[in-house]
Amino acid sequence: MPPAKTEVLQGTLDLILLRLLRAGRANGWDLTQSIQTVSRGLLDVNYGSVYPALRRLEAAGWAKASWASSENKRRARYYTLTASGRKQLVAEQAAWERFSRAIGLVLQSD
């Protein structure tokens, strides 16, 4: 029996991708695998939705994209975090932490 999975909250996918891209250049498939690995399979990410999210990051100027060949000698689109993407990550991470702490406080109160 696989562990129960959690749906990704609306809007948090961008944050996850920004965080994962901080480690370095990656393509879409790499990122889906990373999400599974890092979240220990707990996050139920629709793999397809990663791609529009990456395009959003690109359009916002947070990530840069370029084509390169992947390990299996296939052409893949690689995304790199930009300077403004790094700043965005810091801002979004701080916002998320505030949010989750607030939710935590609410839930722990009697």
Partner 1 sequence: MLTGVLARLRALLLPGTTRDEIDEELRSHCDREIERLIASGMSLNAAVAAAQHALGNATLHRENAREAYGWRWLDELRQDLRYALRNMGRAPALTAVIVAILAMGIGPNAALISYLDARLADAGAVDANGLVRVSFRTAQAPGTKLTADEFGEFSRRQQWFESVARTVQKRAAVTIDGAQSTVDVQLATGSYFHVLGLRLPLGAAIPAIDDHAPDPPRVAVASFRFWQTALRGSPGAIGRTVNVNGIPITIVGVMPKDFDAPELTLPYATRRALSLDETESERNTTRQWDGVLGRLRPDVRPAQAQAGSTAIAAAIRKAGDPFGLISRATLSPFVLPGRFGFAMQRSAPLSIVSLLILLIGCANVSILLIGRAVNRRREIAVRLSLGASRIRIVRQLLTESVLLALMACAAGVLLLVWASKILWLRYPAVPDLAPRWSAAGATMAFSVLTGMLFGLLPALHATRTEVGDALKDGIAGLDVRRARLQRAFVIAEVALSITLVCATGLFLNGFRGMMAIHGYAASPRVLLTDLDFSSAHYSAARQAAFLDEVKANIAHLQGVRTVGFSDGVPLSPEMGHWGLGVPATAGMRFGAINSRVARITLIDSAFFEAMGIAVTSGRDVSRSDSAGGPRVAIISHDIADSLWPGASPLGKVVRIRKNGRWLDSHHFSFDTLQAVVIGVTAPIEQEALLDATSPLSGQARSTRATPPDRSMIFLARSQWPDSGNGTLIVQSARPDPALALAIEQDIRAADPRLPFTPVISAEAYQRAPFKGIDAAVNGLTWSGALALLLACVGIYAVIAFAIGQRTREIGIRIALGARAGQVAWLFFRDGLALSIAGIAIGVPLALLIMRLMVVRELGPQMLAPLAVVWITAGLVGVAALASWLPARRAAAVDPLTALRSE
Closest CB 7 distance from partner 1, rounded Å: 13
Looking at beta carbons only, is 14 or 19 nearer to partner 1? 14
* Distance separating alpha carbons of residues 12 and 10, to the nearest angstrom: 6
Closest CB 37 distance from partner 1, rounded Å: 13
Contact 92, 85 (CB under 8 A): no
Give the interface with partner 1 as residue ranges (CB under 8 A): 27-29, 32-33, 46-49, 51-56, 58-62, 64-65, 70, 72, 74-77, 82, 84
Beta-carbon contacts of 60 under 8 Å, excluding residues fewer than 6 positions away, are 88
Looking at beta carbons only, is 19 or 77 nearer to partner 1? 77
Looking at beta carbons only, is 41 or 104 nearer to partner 1? 41
3-class DSSP state of 109:
coil
Which tokens hold the place of 19?
A: 């965080």
